[in-house]
Amino acid sequence: MLPSALNDVIETLGRLPGVGPRTAERYAYYLLKADESISLNIAKSLAKLHSEVKTCPITFALIDSENTVSPLYDDPSRDKDTILVVEEPLDIYAIEHTKSYHGTYHVLGGAISPMDGITADQLHIKELIDRVEKDNVTEIIIATNPSVEGESTAVLLEKLLHEKYPDLQITRLARGLPLGISLEYADQITLTSALNNRTKI
Amino acid sequence: MLPSALNDVIETLGRLPGVGPRTAERYAYYLLKADESISLNIAKSLAKLHSEVKTCPITFALIDSENTVSPLYDDPSRDKDTILVVEEPLDIYAIEHTKSYHGTYHVLGGAISPMDGITADQLHIKELIDRVEKDNVTEIIIATNPSVEGESTAVLLEKLLHEKYPDLQITRLARGLPLGISLEYADQITLTSALNNRTKI
């Protein structure tokens, strides 16, 4: 009943995560009313997404397909003796925005989650362990998410790394009060961590 | 810092209504992890959206560009003496899904909204008035949204149509309780309408 080209857009946009038929309809109708260049630009960028982005074979970060390894690894000014371990490639950019870290990264590719069928051997853990020796790493910073899955993954990583390299320093991101959250809204676990890890002023 | 192809997708998807940088990032990363065919299908459908959809010159419904007028107007089984007036093209499909209406449609292209700079002469009102005579219309059903803008538009339409065609029947969709809403949650205006327009059982 709808013009078939409009229907196609509603159906294909409906494949995006969290986009139901009503939202897809709203997007499609907006694009139809807007200048054609907006639709064409989205189309052009999506057409080359997979062909122009690949995964770094060492750090598993996302890189331009013309690069061989991640520029954040290749750059000689980055400290190769420190690796910050994250779950997903985009987590790297959250850390980079802080401009407070100068080591390298390692992307696990997720976190252990029996519910979603993600086991330890699907993550890039072996490659991380190999990197420690290869790059003479002295510190691993575990920056998995503060979720059940992220915590379990952190515990496992710590165990595996410590078994193989007893002298390796293994740290994780501090838990505490985030900026702008008042005490009464902070959860108990965060508040306990903030109290236990209090710093001298 | 992000691979430029990924950055392009995040930027272009960020042009969709209500999609901020975080949501665009989530969409882009999802598409990158998903099968390439999903991105390519969205790209393909968007590339032909504008070229394959146009507006019916009589009803202002959206139609396949190969059609000359809306099939819902052209179909001889539709009653041309009744016109249901909606704000936007997609409203037609909401009515069609009820399978309870067999007349034709007229899309205004919005509702009067001084806040958004939409005045009466930007809507397809003149074309509606002309259609009444041309198609020997006996009833106009005003189905604008139950918002301030929709109501003002309905009032104006009623006035203009009544001035020109004093015998034309002008109706609007009934106001009342929607299915599944309990009395205590219904707003006062809806409840007043439901009471005033009560029907015999």
Q: Which of B25, B42, B56, B98 is the best residue to mutate to test the A interface, defined by the most A CB atoms within 10 Å of its own CB?
A: B42
Q: Which residue of B has its CA nearest to A65?
A: B3
pLDDT tens digits, one per residue of B22-39: 999 999 999 999 999 999
- A30 vs B17, B38, B48: nearest CB: B17
Q: The pTM is what?
A: 0.80
Distance of residue B196 Cα from the nearest chain A Cα, in angstroms: 33
Q: How far is CA B156 from CA B41, B85, B106, B173, in A?
A: 44, 13, 16, 16
Q: Which of A45, A54, A59 is the best residue to mutate to test the B interface, defined by the most B CB atoms within 10 Å of its own CB?
A: A45
Q: How far is CA A98 from CA A79, A95, A107, A139, A194, in A?
A: 16, 5, 18, 19, 21
* pLDDT for residue B92: 94
- B15 vs A32, A38, A49: nearest CB: A38
Q: How far apart are CA A162 and CA A169, in angstroms?
A: 9
Q: Do B27 and A17 touch (CB under 8 A)?
A: yes
Q: Do B30 and A43 touch (CB under 8 A)?
A: no
At the topology level of CATH, where does B68-172 sit? Dna Topoisomerase Vi A Subunit; Chain: A, domain 2 (3.40.1360)
Q: Do B39 and A30 touch (CB under 8 A)?
A: no
C-alpha B83: how far from its chain's center? 14
Cβ atoms A10, B70 nearer than 8 A: no
Strand order across the beta sheet in which B103-107 lies: B103-107, B79-86, B139-142, B169-172
- B43 vs A17, A46, A63: nearest CB: A46
Distance of residue A6 Cα from the nearest chain B Cα, in angstroms: 6
Cβ within 8 Å of residue A57, ≥6 positions away? A68, A69
Query: Which residue's entry shows tokens 């205004």?
Result: B108
Reported as half-sphere exposure (CB side, CA atoms, 13 A), residue B72 has a value of 29
B60 three-state secondary structure: coil
Assembly ipTM = 0.83
* pLDDT for residue B183: 83
* pLDDT for residue B176: 86
Cβ atoms B180, B150 nearer than 8 A: no
Q: Do A41 and B17 touch (CB under 8 A)?
A: no
Q: Which of B4, B9, B37, B46 is the best residue to mutate to test the A interface, defined by the most A CB atoms within 10 Å of its own CB?
A: B46
In this model, does residue B178 exceed pLDDT 90? Answer: no
* pLDDT for residue A54: 94
Mean pLDDT of B107-135: 94
Under DSSP, the state recorded for B113 is B
Q: Which residue of A has its CA nearest to B26?
A: A17
| pLDDT-based confidence at residue A50 (cuts at 50, 70, 90) | very high
Q: What proportion of chain A, given as a percentage, has pLDDT over 90?
A: 78
Domain A4-54: CATH architecture, name and number where available: Orthogonal Bundle (1.10)
In this model, does residue B1 exceed pLDDT 80? Answer: no
- Residues 30 through 49 of chain B touching chain A, CB cutoff 8 Å: 30-32, 34, 36, 38-49
Where exactly does CATH 3.40.1360.10 map onto chain A? 68-172
Mean pLDDT of B167-180: 89
Q: How far apart are CA A177 and CA A199, in angstroms?
A: 12
In this model, does residue A198 exceed pLDDT 90? Answer: no
Q: Do B62 and A3 touch (CB under 8 A)?
A: yes
| pLDDT-based confidence at residue A190 (cuts at 50, 70, 90) | confident
pLDDT tens digits, one per residue of A78-109: 999 999 999 999 999 989 989 999 999 999 99
Distance of residue A165 Cα from the nearest chain B Cα, in angstroms: 32
* B63 touching chain A per CB within 8 A: yes
Phi (first) and psi of residue A25, to 5 degrees: -60, -45
